[in-house]
């Protein structure tokens, strides 16, 4: 057992105890400082109360070795006795105990680019709230304020362990940040801005229906607000000489700590760690709580997504294992601090054991050459970086972004085939990689092009002042770190294990072919054209027309048809309902009896030859599983008679007729896009079907709205827009091909004749 408590009989208030560093501090206190009591600030999240979140912490891997050592019951007993929750957040800390000896303020947002108001609220407002609450409690604790080594902003050379020298008025900046959201929200609601969003949404999603378009436009407005607030933060930070809004707000938090605490006569230590990564020794080598600062970059490299990077090969990448930070924090907390005085500690490696960026690169490269990450097509080969300099990387990146955008536009204009979808996949993958590369380039630029060295004289002196046993058991001597050893044997295996664990999503294809559960409260909805039938309204019309048109009308009708094609094409691009309505006018004058005869004869047989066998097989599988199978189509009931035996129900449109002759007008609006969604909701509600567990099969972007209502949507032979959505949402994507064979039967009943239900408004 480690027995070298440097903190004895202390009551410690910890913020950020659910975070990476906070968990490790809590574990160390419980494990190695048996006389301490810890009050932890925790906020409730979702349905979990603060109390539950705190007790759930014990299940985290960080505590596993301690639990193994003392036994589960004893660990639970100690946790219940020594750890108390303070239910609150940084904006509402609540009442603190009056007997605090030490405060460790670790809570923070650590994202580099949050919206400006969120960054200020958490990091600056949060510090304000914590110091206010300590003052109100009547306690006079020694505060260890956890900051970051990068708090000094963009600069070169050695950075001392001292108070920052800037003269920026943090209160004024905080006030400006707080009002930013209201200003941006106001801007986003101006008619010109809304018109732009609506026009974009209509152009991209017009076929999905008016409510969906409004939804897309509103989501785009909210995204715009967020991006603008992120931009406010990033640009304001840069304009004041900081890398990003994270380091800017951490700098202001230090000011708040100095003004509200040390300058008010209390004891303050500011701990500034550099980039914190997995532990070297404690609680076990390689402990990490999710991906940390440098890890997304490491993994993106291992996945082959970073062809080059604008880092300076000789800049220092300042990494520090988390156990060193924890040990330093506790040693700082235990030091004899003086009132009215703030002392600063860099917990960093750059000065005493520097790791140049090119050495880090060589390490990462060697690791992934030796242990490549797998992909669907084999092991990923990692790129070789040449460090051509920031400007050349930027130029190459901009050129590739331009090429990817052009390729994407081109593909969107091509007819949809499995091959164009493959092309889109390749371009989208490349584009995603470029977006990531751009984000990384911007986010990490300051960290990998930096020429800063953090002086660590205070931290080293503190380490040397510790008893030998503490130095050994709870030390933070960075000169002992062998970087090659640390990366190859500890850190990279830890983060790649996480990647492999996260990557275990079953492939869409595997999910699609999974056996269907037997239940009678679900529906399987099939669209007709493009999904069950390799045909469309135009082809059907032409076939029926060619079988029935009198000779003398052929030339006239063909000329008229060619003349109207552009009109149909435009209508189809705008709105599926408009297209159906416009196109079906061509049936004016057709005799119902004649159509019925054709459908029973040659037309019907030709239609069934175009039916997709895999679709009919899927229908049978759903029937065998007890699901209600429904074919829903925008076309008219007369045409779909051949499908009647295959489905439990067919919902189709109807055309108005007079004296047995079609007038060319639909009896109801076509049951497509949102109208189909509305019908489906009503149908499920009236008949007691569970949409969450139901199935849907559609091929067009116009099917998006109703497919979204179902728990198991599949995009069948999708057009590019639906395909893109399906990929984003991890829906099944199915390629059902045409074949002349009759549909294979799976199990269960032979198809039997079912009634056709009429379209819109008929939901029972």
Binding span for ligand NAP by CB under 6 A among 86-94, 369-377, 552-560, 587-595: 86-94
Spatial distance between the Cα atoms of 590 and 588, rounded to a whole number of angstroms = 6
Spatial distance between the Cα atoms of 64 and 685, rounded to a whole number of angstroms = 49
Nearer to ligand NAP by C-beta: 293 or 512? 293
| Whether 315 contacts 357, CB under 8 Å | yes
Nearer to ligand NAP by C-beta: 22 or 670? 22
Q: 10 Å Cβ neighbour count for 183?
A: 13
* Residue 25 binds to ligand NAP (criterion: CB under 6 A): no
- Binder of ligand NAP out of 25, 86, 146, 337 (CB under 6 A): 146
* Residue 106 binds to ligand NAP (criterion: CB under 6 A): yes
Spatial distance between the Cα atoms of 666 and 305, rounded to a whole number of angstroms = 53
| Whether 145 contacts 272, CB under 8 Å | no
- Binder of ligand NAP out of 2, 6, 34, 43 (CB under 6 A): 43
Candidates 665, 659, 732, 649; CA nearest to 698 is: 732
Minimum distance, C-beta of residue 414 to ligand NAP, in the bound complex (Å)? 45
* Residue 18 binds to ligand NAP (criterion: CB under 6 A): yes
Nearer to ligand NAP by C-beta: 234 or 676? 234
Residues 160-179 that bind ligand NAP (CB under 6 A): none
- What are the φ and ψ backbone dihedral angles of 655, each rounded to 5 degrees? -110, 145
* Residue 732 binds to ligand NAP (criterion: CB under 6 A): no
Secondary element (H or E) of residue 499: helix 492-502
* Residue 110 binds to ligand NAP (criterion: CB under 6 A): yes
| Whether 233 contacts 115, CB under 8 Å | yes
Minimum distance, C-beta of residue 346 to ligand NAP, in the bound complex (Å)? 11
Nearer to ligand NAP by C-beta: 91 or 560? 91
Binding span for ligand NAP by CB under 6 A among 100-108, 329-337, 360-368, 396-404: 100-108
Binding span for ligand NAP by CB under 6 A among 270-278, 420-428, 470-478, 639-647: 270-278
Nearer to ligand NAP by C-beta: 100 or 127? 127
The site that binds ligand NAP (CB under 6 A) totals a number of residues, namely 28
Binding span for ligand NAP by CB under 6 A among 40-48, 412-420, 426-434, 718-726: 40-48
Nearer to ligand NAP by C-beta: 346 or 676? 346
202 alpha-carbon distance from chain centroid: 25
* Residue 16 binds to ligand NAP (criterion: CB under 6 A): yes
Minimum distance, C-beta of residue 148 to ligand NAP, in the bound complex (Å)? 4
Binding span for ligand NAP by CB under 6 A among 12-20, 219-227, 378-386, 612-620: 12-20
DSSP 8-state assignment for residue 44: -
Q: Which residue is nearest to ligand NAP (CB)?
A: 19
Binding span for ligand NAP by CB under 6 A among 83-91, 306-314, 374-382, 584-592: 83-91
* Residue 152 binds to ligand NAP (criterion: CB under 6 A): no
Spatial distance between the Cα atoms of 135 and 266, rounded to a whole number of angstroms = 10
* Residue 615 binds to ligand NAP (criterion: CB under 6 A): no
- Binder of ligand NAP out of 115, 273, 677, 696 (CB under 6 A): 273
- Binder of ligand NAP out of 22, 233, 677, 713 (CB under 6 A): 22
Q: Whats the size of the chain, residue-wise?
A: 764
Assign residue 624 a region (left: φ > 0; alpha: ψ between -120 and 50; beta: otherwise): alpha
Look at the alpha carbons of 175, 178, 180, 182 in this order and tell me if their dihedral is positive or negative. negative
Give the x-and-dash track for 230-259 against ligand NAP (CB under 6 A): --------------------x---------
Nearer to ligand NAP by C-beta: 149 or 528? 149
Minimum distance, C-beta of residue 35 to ligand NAP, in the bound complex (Å)? 24
Nearer to ligand NAP by C-beta: 151 or 756? 151
Candidates 344, 354, 352, 349; CA nearest to 147 is: 344
Interacting residues of 272 by C-beta distance below 8 A, sequence separation 6+? 147, 148, 149, 151, 161, 344, 345, 346, 347, 348, 454
- Binder of ligand NAP out of 38, 58, 75, 90 (CB under 6 A): 90
Spatial distance between the Cα atoms of 450 and 601, rounded to a whole number of angstroms = 78
Nearer to ligand NAP by C-beta: 319 or 595? 319
- What are the φ and ψ backbone dihedral angles of 621, each rounded to 5 degrees? -65, -40
Spatial distance between the Cα atoms of 274 and 106, rounded to a whole number of angstroms = 14
DSSP 8-state assignment for residue 356: B
Minimum distance, C-beta of residue 88 to ligand NAP, in the bound complex (Å)? 7
3-state secondary structure 376-433: CCEECCCCCCCCCCHHHHHHHHHHHHHHHHHHHHHHHHCCCCHHHHHHHHHHHHHHHH
Interacting residues of 172 by C-beta distance below 8 A, sequence separation 6+? none
* Residue 276 binds to ligand NAP (criterion: CB under 6 A): yes
Residues 285-304 that bind ligand NAP (CB under 6 A): 292-293
- What are the φ and ψ backbone dihedral angles of 548, each rounded to 5 degrees? -120, -15
* Residue 670 binds to ligand NAP (criterion: CB under 6 A): no
* Residue 745 binds to ligand NAP (criterion: CB under 6 A): no
Spatial distance between the Cα atoms of 111 and 438, rounded to a whole number of angstroms = 17
- What are the φ and ψ backbone dihedral angles of 16, each rounded to 5 degrees? 75, 25
Minimum distance, C-beta of residue 138 to ligand NAP, in the bound complex (Å)? 22
* Residue 148 binds to ligand NAP (criterion: CB under 6 A): yes
- Binder of ligand NAP out of 40, 100, 107, 704 (CB under 6 A): 107
Nearer to ligand NAP by C-beta: 22 or 307? 22
**Tokens 């294990």, located at residue:** 497
Interacting residues of 160 by C-beta distance below 8 A, sequence separation 6+? 344, 455
Nearer to ligand NAP by C-beta: 328 or 702? 328
* Residue 108 binds to ligand NAP (criterion: CB under 6 A): yes
205, two tokens: 């999603």
Minimum distance, C-beta of residue 673 to ligand NAP, in the bound complex (Å)? 40
Residues that bind ligand NAP (CB under 6 A): 16-22, 41, 43, 45, 89-91, 106-110, 122, 126, 146, 148, 250, 273, 275-276, 292-293
């Amino acid at each position: 057992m480690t027995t070298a408590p440097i903190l004895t009989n202390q009551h410690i208030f910890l913020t950020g105890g659910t975070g990476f560093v906070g968990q490790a501090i809590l574990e160390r206190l419980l494990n190695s400082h048996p006389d301490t009591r810890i009050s932890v600030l925790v906020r409730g999240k979702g349905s979990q109360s603060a109390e539950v979140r705190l007790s759930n912490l014990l299940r985290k891997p960080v505590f596993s070795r301690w639990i193994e050592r003392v036994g589960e019951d004893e660990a639970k007993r100690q946790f219940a006795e020594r750890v108390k929750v303070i239910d609150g957040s940084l904006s509402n800390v609540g009442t603190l105990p009056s007997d605090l000896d030490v405060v460790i303020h670790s809570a923070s947002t650590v994202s580099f680019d949050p919206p400006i108001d969120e960054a200020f609220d958490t990091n600056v407002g949060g510090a304000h709230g914590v110091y206010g609450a300590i003052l109100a409690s009547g306690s006079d604790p020694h505060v260890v304020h956890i900051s970051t080594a990068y708090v000094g902003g963009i600069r070169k050379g050695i950075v001392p362990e001292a108070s920052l020298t800037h003269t920026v008025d943090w209160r004024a900046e905080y006030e400006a940040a707080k009002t930013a959201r209201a200003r941006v929200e106001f801007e986003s609601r101006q008619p010109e801005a809304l018109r732009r969003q609506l026009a974009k949404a209509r152009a991209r999603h017009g076929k999905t229906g008016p409510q969906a378009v409004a939804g897309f436009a509103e989501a785009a407005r909210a995204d715009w607000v967020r991006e603008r607030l992120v931009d406010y933060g990033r640009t304001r930070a840069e304009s004041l000489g900081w890398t990003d809004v994270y380091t800017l707000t951490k700098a202001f938090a230090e000011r708040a700590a100095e003004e509200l605490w040390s300058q008010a006569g209390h004891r303050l230590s500011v701990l500034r760690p550099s980039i914190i990564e997995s532990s070297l020794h404690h609680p076990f080598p390689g402990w990490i709580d999710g991906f940390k600062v440098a890890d997304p970059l490491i993994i993106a490299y291992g996945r082959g997504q970073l062809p080059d990077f604008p880092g300076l090969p000789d800049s220092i990448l300042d990494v520090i294992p988390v156990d060193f930070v924890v040990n330093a924090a506790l040693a700082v907390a235990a030091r004899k601090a003086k009132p009215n005085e703030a002392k600063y500690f860099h917990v960093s490696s750059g000065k005493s054991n520097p790791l140049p960026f090119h050495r880090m690169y060589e390490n990462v490269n060697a690791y992934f050459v030796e242990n490549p990450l797998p992909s669907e097509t084999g092991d990923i080969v990692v790129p070789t970086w040449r460090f051509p300099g920031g400007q050349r990387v930027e130029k190459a990146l901009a050129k590739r972004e331009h090429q990817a955008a052009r390729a994407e536009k081109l593909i969107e204009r091509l007819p949809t085939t499995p091959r164009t979808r493959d092309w889109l996949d390749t371009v989208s993958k490349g584009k995603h990689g470029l977006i990531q590369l751009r984000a990384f380039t911007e986010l990490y630029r300051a960290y990998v092009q930096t020429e800063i060295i953090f002086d660590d004289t205070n931290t080293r002196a503190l380490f040397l002042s510790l008893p030998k046993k503490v130095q050994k058991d709870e030390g933070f001597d960075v000169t002992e770190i062998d970087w090659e050893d640390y990366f190859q044997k500890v850190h990279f295996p830890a983060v790649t294990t996480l990647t492999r664990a996260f990557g275990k999503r079953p492939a869409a294809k595997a999910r699609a072919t999974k056996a269907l559960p037997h239940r009678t409260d679900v529906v399987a909805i099939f669209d007709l054209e493009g999904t069950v039938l390799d045909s469309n309204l135009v082809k059907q019309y032409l076939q029926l027309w060619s079988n029935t048109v009198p000779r003398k009308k052929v030339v006239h009708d063909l000329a008229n048809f060619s003349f109207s094609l552009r009109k149909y094409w435009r209508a189809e691009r705008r709105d599926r309902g408009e297209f159906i309505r416009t196109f079906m006018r061509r049936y004016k004058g057709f005799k119902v009896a004649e159509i019925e005869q054709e459908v029973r004869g040659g037309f019907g047989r030709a239609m069934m030859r175009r039916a997709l066998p895999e679709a009919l097989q899927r229908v049978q599988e759903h029937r065998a599983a007890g699901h209600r199978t429904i074919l829903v189509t925008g076309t008219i009931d007369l045409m779909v008679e051949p499908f009647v035996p295959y489905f439990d129900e067919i919902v189709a449109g109807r055309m108005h007729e007079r004296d047995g002759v079609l007038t060319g007008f639909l009896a109801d609006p076509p049951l497509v896009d949102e109208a189909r969604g509305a019908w489906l909701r009503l149908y499920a509600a009236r008949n007691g079907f569970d949409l969450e567990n139901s199935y849907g099969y559609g091929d067009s972007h116009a099917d998006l709205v109703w497919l979204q209502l179902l728990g198991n949507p599949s995009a069948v032979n999708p057009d590019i827009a639906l395909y893109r959505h399906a990929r984003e949402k991890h829906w099944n994507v199915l390629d059902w091909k045409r074949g002349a064979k009759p549909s294979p039967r799976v199990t269960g009943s032979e198809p039997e004749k079912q009634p056709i239900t009429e379209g819109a408004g008929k939901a029972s």
